[in-house]
Amino acid sequence: MPSYQPPLRDMQFLLHEVFEVTQEFKAMPRHAEVDAETVNAVLEEAGKFASDVIFPLNISGDEEGCTLNRDTHEVTTPKGFKQAYAQYVEGGWASLSCDPDYGGQGLPFVVNQCLYEMLNSANQAWTMYPGLSHGAYEALHAHGTDAQKQLYLPKLTSGEWTGSMCLTEAHCGTDLGLLRTKAEPLPDGSYKLTGNKIFISAGEHDFTSNIVHLVLARLPDAPVGSKGISLFVVPKFLVNADGSLGERNPIFCGGLEHKMGIHGNATAQLNLDGAVGTMVGQPNKGLAAMFVMMNAARLGVGNQSLGLTEVAFQNALAYAKDRLQMRSLSGTKAKDKPADPIIVHPDVRRMLLTAKAYAEGGRALSTFCSVLIDKELHHPDEKVRKDSAELVALLTPIVKAFITDNGWTATTMSQQVYGGHGFIKEWGMEQFVRDARINMIYEGTNGIQALDLLGRKVLGNQGATLKKFGKLVGRLVEEEGVNEKMAEFINPIAVLGEQMTKFTTEIGFKGMQNPDEVGAASVDYLRVAGHLVFGYLFARMAQVALREIAKGNSDPFYVAKLQTARFYFAKLFPETATLMRTARAGSRVLMDTDAALA
């Protein structure tokens, strides 16, 4: 059976030593009183909830799955899931970072993201139920009317109700311009929605008395394509003016998807048969409003794979220390045993260190982005808010695609450490692999994220935002460039930072001649950018570790951090050279292949 230990020490290292979040909070009036003791206490309790309450339900939830009653359209979740959610709500976890105006605790977003990493490690399928609610909350908080906010946000904040995101239809996934769900105006200002949605995570369940669906649909006179999409809030039960529940709204679960993983989450097919909803935002401007939820979801998906990377690594490490197999190539290490533990073998260490580096790099990136979001939302300086928002926009596709690609690599490598046992269900590793696979697909496949990064976020503004991140790298290089102990961490990012300018310009120029050149290079480009970001963050972590060691701090944590950083730069970061070469191979070897793909 697998186990899970919340990585509180590494979280505290990032929060307090690398990013110095309490200093950042002091500049934001809303969070000025949040201190390190408060943050640590919250995360310690969050870790207990994750490891003690929902982690024990992970395997059983996967085995049991969800059940649909086709007569009532109601879904029953696995045993223990509903009771765990009640504990989650009772503990105040749903409201942790929500607006106090609607009953929230108002803690920084970065604290909430740390909570969700631990929840995802413990049980990704369960975590998706409250996770979708946060996206619905954010969208309504940003674009809802005052009446919608007063009606829905207190219930979403408390966790009394949950939310869902209804985009996908059978004939269209990411290309939302093709969606067909219709919204007809009613005399009272509401709308009657008719259509079908698929792949709706947490679209139906038994956790709460109501589910607040955010649904994309078209008005009768809407223009074609993505410019004709509106957003509507469509509750499972209509809500009376006093907040009490009214009639059952005809938005029903018609089926549950039979999936490779995340069996404990109800991935629903929803049928809208004249369901009543109200518009969120402006007519035909729904995609902009929904992007608030979509971007939150993309950051959340990266966090899902981060969580799985961590728990898979922990279990693979424990197994490698215990499993005996062969003798070390350099001589017997466990003389009192018939064979050495497999952790002595270089290739096993390669796999373990890959998972560890991807976990620690992903956690650093998630934390970095979360602090930027807190600054974007709450910093009093408009320029700081704007700069933070631009960097978050640049980094969001990297969080979603790079961390989830790495999560797939890490979970499969961790499974490989187990040998044949990794393929057997009782050890738990194959579930981590199955669950991790969806994260590269939903909320925009990683190929779409790569196009978004290169086409929109980089080339779309002639690399202006990329240059802003480059300045962060340049500042660190200038600060530590003469420090010999930092050379192994600084030199690689300094070189890649210089190469990125030429690399980006070259692809952009080729793309002007033939847009397929951007599509052909984008996936490789995103991984190069991801390594630049990870490299920058690992260099910052190494900087702190070296500083502490120089001060005489004997905590082995810092030595371990340096060893992980050295492994990352020696064995993973050099992938960038190959990626830049394959990106430069161009589109012809992909597009002039009709005979090969006939």
Residues 116 and 183 in one domain: no
Give the number of residues written for the chain: 598
Dump the DSSP string for 242-277.
Answer: TS-EEEEPSEEEEEE---SS-TTS-EEEEEEEEEEE
Which amino acid type is present at position 80? G
User: Using 50, 70 and 90 to split pLDDT, how confident is the model at 173?
Assistant: confident
The separation between CA 188 and the C-alpha centre of its own chain, rounded to angstroms, equals 39
CA angle (67 as vertex; 64, 68 as ends), nearest 5: 170
Residues 178, 84 share a domain: no
Query: Does one domain contain both 98 and 185?
Result: no
**Is 290 a residue whose pLDDT tops 90?**
no
* Residue 123 near residue 55 (C-beta atoms within 8 A): yes
One domain, residues 129 and 165: no
What's at 381, amino acid-wise? D
Tell me the chain's radius of gyration from C-alpha atoms.
Answer: 24
0.95 surpassed by pTM: yes
Distance separating alpha carbons of residues 522 and 529, to the nearest angstrom: 10
510 in a domain, yes or no? yes
Residue ranges making up the domain that contains 583: 453-588
- Cα separation, 234 vs 213, in Å, equals 5
Do 48 and 4 meet the contact criterion of CB atoms below 8 Å apart? no
In single-letter form, the type of residue at position 391 comes to L
User: For residue 293, is pLDDT > 80?
Assistant: no
**3-state DSSP assignment of residue 484:** helix
Q: Is the pLDDT of residue 171 over 80?
A: yes
Residues 4-21: what's their mean pLDDT? 98
Residue 420 lies in a domain: no
- β-partners of residue 74 are 69
Where a domain ends, among 256, 283, 310? 283
Task: Give dist(CA 391, CA 204) in Å, integer.
Answer: 35
**CA pair distance 165, 213, nearest whole angstrom:** 6
Q: What are phi and psi of 208, to 5 degrees?
A: -130, 165
A 10 A CB-CB count for 277 gives: 25
Encode pLDDT of 361-394 as tens digits.
Answer: 999 999 999 999 999 999 999 999 999 999 999 9
Q: Has residue 305 been placed in a domain? A: no
pLDDT range class, residue 486, cuts 50, 70, 90? very high
User: Which CATH number belongs to the domain containing residue 29 in this structure?
Assistant: 1.10.540.10
Return the CATH number at 186: 2.40.110.20
Which pLDDT belongs to residue 174?
A: 83
Number of domains in the chain: 3
The residue type of 201 is S
| Residue with more model confidence, 453 or 289 | 453
Domain shared by 173 and 124, yes or no: no
CA–CA distances in Å: residue 401 to residues 314, 369, 504: 23, 14, 19
State how far the Cα of 539 lies from the Cα of 489, in Å rounded to an integer.
Answer: 5
212 domain residue, yes or no: yes
Q: pLDDT tens digits, residue range 449-485?
A: 999 999 999 999 999 999 999 999 999 999 998 999 9
Burial of 37 (0-12, 13-18, 19+ CB in 10 A): exposed
At residue 291 the predicted structure's pLDDT band, cuts being 50, 70 and 90, is confident
**One domain, residues 177 and 279:** yes
Is residue 74 flagged as an active site residue?
Answer: no
pLDDT of residue 176: 84
Are residues 244 and 266 part of one domain?
yes
Query: Which among 226, 252, 283 is the end of a domain?
Result: 283
Residue 342 Cα distances to 41, 321, 346, 419, angstroms = 37, 7, 9, 11
Same domain as 217, residue 130: no
Look at residues 90, 125, 149 and tell me which one is the last residue of a structural domain. 149
Q: Is position 373 within any domain?
A: no
**Confidence band, pLDDT 50/70/90 cuts, at residue 141:** very high
- Give whole-number Cα distances, 176 to 126, 309, 564, in Å: 27, 31, 42
Tell whether 145 and 16 lie within a shared domain.
yes
Asked if the structure places residue 106 within a domain, the reply is yes
Identify residue 299 by its one-letter amino acid code: L
Asked if residue 192 is part of any domain, the answer here is: yes
- Residue-wise pLDDT for 522-536, tens only, equals 999 999 999 999 999
Q: pLDDT band for 295, please (50, 70, 90 cuts).
A: confident
Return the structure tokens found at 579. Answer: 């990626």
In terms of domains, do 236 and 211 share one? yes
pLDDT given for residue 326 in this prediction: 96
Instruction: Verify that 49 and 111 share a domain, yes or no.
Output: yes
Q: Report the pLDDT value the prediction gives residue 339, as an integer from 0 to 100.
A: 96
Q: Residue 595 domain-assigned? A: no
Pick the catalytic residue: 138, 443, 480, 517?
A: 443
Residue by residue, DSSP assigns 303-327 as HHHHHHHHHHHHHHHHHHHH-B-S-
Q: Quick: pLDDT tens for 87-127.
A: 999 999 999 999 999 999 999 999 999 999 999 999 999 99
- If asked whether residues 515 and 557 sit together in one domain, one would say yes
